[in-house]
Structure 1
Amino acid sequence: MHADPHIDAAVTTLERRRASRPAFRKSRRPTERTRLLGELVDLVRPEEVLHLIESRVESRTKTVVANHNLHSLYLLQRTPPMRRFYDLAELVEVDSRPLIAVARALGVSSRPFHRCTYLDWRDHFWSLADRKGWRVLYVGGAPGVASTAAGRLARRYPGARIEVIDGYFDMTRNGAANTAILAKARAFDPHVLFVGMGMPRQEIWIAENHEALPPSVILSVGAAFDYEAGVQSAAPRWMGRLGIEWAYRLVSDPARLWQRYLVEPWALIPALGRDILTAIRSRRV
């Protein structure tokens, strides 16, 4: 069987860039890393995400954990600065049941439990942070929201040390506000850094400031602390398992999300077509 040369070239380039890092992906099964709608993702369970986080915290290795859903794939086509963020990522979670469905339709070995997001592993994460005394920094959210979330989490997980920084600041790379944020982050020296400023702002900020960030596990988590603060309502996890969480979110906030769920996916049809053609050619060969 002959692999697609374009896919081979992309994977080879990515591996060369990361050859000097601790190779979590080298210890995984070959089927865990695949390409969906033109982008590389990792088909891993939530517990595997936590295993990576724990191992990198113990070694104090700066590590980026990313995620892909249909919204990120759409934005990536139109926002070139996001590309560096995904190039930096050691692990790319699949935060989308439709993407899992695409994988299965293309003959890729995948299951519903490969859908990973903060809401799927947060209880396990905070239990670990509590037991091991991790320092966790959250950058994002409107003024007061992140601090409310931190207070709630601290009461439930007193062993974790949680600090927050509001996400409403001037991101200009060498500007005074951004420089001050980076100084606070280094002073706190977190084991885990959550960045929740929404796509693509959070990905661009991480990529632009990666070298200046402390040696922590860095995750883009969107509205994670909005959920913890009760500002946004999380869909029941059974809806996520059934692949209809998007409907819950759309009904909850139609003005903000109608384009994301009803318009943006159509822009990904060409990428889906290329995946289908690649799968057909591979099977013919």
Structure 2
Amino acid sequence: MREKNSGSALSPLPESLVLGLPVHCSNNYSGWLLSRLEAEVGTHIVTLNAEMVIQGEKNHVLANIIRQAELVVPDGAGVVLYLKFKGKSVQRCPGIELAESLLWQVSKQNPDNLVFFYGGKPGVAMKAAESWQDKVPELAIACQHGYLSPAEEKELLHTLAQLQPRLIFVGLGVPRQELWIAEHKYICPQAIWIGIGGSFDIWAGIKERAPAWFRNNSLEWLYRLYQEPWRWRRMLSLPKFAWKTLMEIKF
């Protein structure tokens, strides 16, 4: 395990390794991010879980993107347990909760900061944006679904370049959203970019997040499997991650 000195809010956060991939440790990720937002420092956030760690072993492009991200948070219970086995006490930081915290805090500190939702099926990002604007009317949110032709995507990039939103939430699924952010973040160099998976579906009311009991007992993955049985193949990464963790701890 390696660590960096923490320093100011604009300095790199302390870092630990999970099977070779970094995780940044903090008890106030949103505060650190808001400081970067105020300083107009661009940030790519990766929400790391066991599935992404296993994908990174085969997908070297994804692994390099994770290593280069300014912030990697422990999204998955497996990542948190791994770090605890290594003697590092960290709290799980689900990406959806970090995204929600940023939206609430930005609405209080500087509601003029434009937010952009990109991803999901047609209509979903719009419903998610409407839901947030009902709760926080002062938030300015633009949106675009994720089913675009090459010409439509080119138009989206032109729109982002013109609008220069400060918070950009990308819901294209792993690893596509991470690859897309890494390729295009230069367009809005002062923005905070975060891949949020299926969060738009939850905000739009199409799906429900796991009840608190499942979340508090590291079983949110099981509830998601119940909602989406087709995910079972992807869930095979969980025992692989657990086996690699046990082997590393044993030796």
TM-score of the aligned structures, taking structure 2 as reference length: 0.88
Separation (CA, whole Å) in 2 of partners of 1:147 and 1:70? 30
Separation (CA, whole Å) in 2 of partners of 1:270 and 1:236? 28
SS at match of 1:137: strand
* Cα shift at 1:273: 5.1
Separation (CA, whole Å) in 2 of partners of 1:122 and 1:200? 18
For residues 53-112 of structure 1, the C-alpha deviation after alignment (integer angstroms, 9 at most, x for no partner) is 211111111111112101111221222321342133111000111221222222x2214x
- Counterpart of 2:11? 24
User: Which residue of 43, 49, 53 maps to 2:33?
Assistant: 53
Structure 2: segments with no counterpart, 5+ residues: none
User: Which residue of 120, 134, 141 maps to 1:162?
Assistant: 141
User: Which residue of 222, 232, 238 maps to 1:258?
Assistant: 232
Q: Which runs of at least 4 in structure 1 moved beyond 4 Å after TM superposition?
A: none
Is 1:104 paired with 2:84? yes
Separation (CA, whole Å) in 2 of partners of 1:224 and 1:264? 21
User: Which residue of 30, 35, 55 maps to 2:17?
Assistant: 35
SS at match of 1:81: helix
Higher helix share: 1
Is 1:188 paired with 2:163? yes
* Cα shift at 1:274: 5.8
User: Which residue of 86, 96, 102 maps to 1:125?
Assistant: 102
Change (3 A) 1:269 1:238: closer
Greater Rg, structure 1 or structure 2? 1
- Counterpart of 2:52? 72
For residues 15-59 of structure 1, the C-alpha deviation after alignment (integer angstroms, 9 at most, x for no partner) is 9xxxxxx8532xx5xxx41111221112333xx221122111111
* Cα shift at 1:120: 2.6
RMSD between aligned residues:
2.4
Maintained 8 Å contact 2:10/2:32: no
Maintained 8 Å contact 2:115/2:142: yes
- Counterpart of 1:86? 66
Maintained 8 Å contact 1:239/1:245: yes
Map of 1:126-275 to 2, 5 A cutoff?
Answer: 126-131=103-108, 132-133=110-111, 134-170=113-149, 176-255=151-230, 257-261=231-235, 263-268=236-241, 271-272=244-245, 275=248
Separation (CA, whole Å) in 1 of partners of 2:139 and 2:126? 14
Read off the aligned partner of 1:162 and give its amino acid letter. I
Read off the aligned partner of 2:167 and give its amino acid letter. V
SS at match of 1:258: helix
Separation (CA, whole Å) in 2 of partners of 1:55 and 1:105? 31
Higher mean alpha-carbon deviation, 211-220 vs 148-157, is at 211-220
Read off the aligned partner of 2:161 and give its amino acid letter. R
Structure 1: segments with no counterpart, 5+ residues: 1-6, 16-21, 281-285
SS at match of 2:60: coil
* Cα shift at 1:187: 1.5
SS at match of 1:54: helix
Read off the aligned partner of 2:11 and give its amino acid letter. F
Q: Percent identity?
A: 25
Read off the aligned partner of 2:208 and give its amino acid letter. S
